[in-house]
Amino acid sequence: MPASARRPFRFTHRWAVPRPAAEVAALLADPLGYPTWWPSVSRARRIDGAGHDGAPRVAVLLRGLIPVRLVMARELDDRERGRLVARLDGDLRGTVRVTVHDDDGPAGGTGGCTVAWEQEVVLGAGRLRAAARLPGARAAMRLSHAWAMRSARRALGARALPAGR
Interval 120-142: pLDDT, tens: 999 997 888 888 888 998 899 99
Interval 111-123: pLDDT, tens: 899 999 999 999 9
List the domains of the chain with CATH numbers: 3-160 (3.30.530.20)
Mean pLDDT, consecutive 10-residue segments, the chain of 165 residues?
A: 70 95 95 96 88 80 91 94 95 96 66 94 86 88 94 95 70
DSSP for 110-157, written as a single string: -S-EEEEEEEEEEE-SSHHHHHTTSTTHHHHHHHHHHHHHHHHHHHTT
Distance from C-alpha of 135 to C-alpha of 150, rounded to nearest angstrom? 25
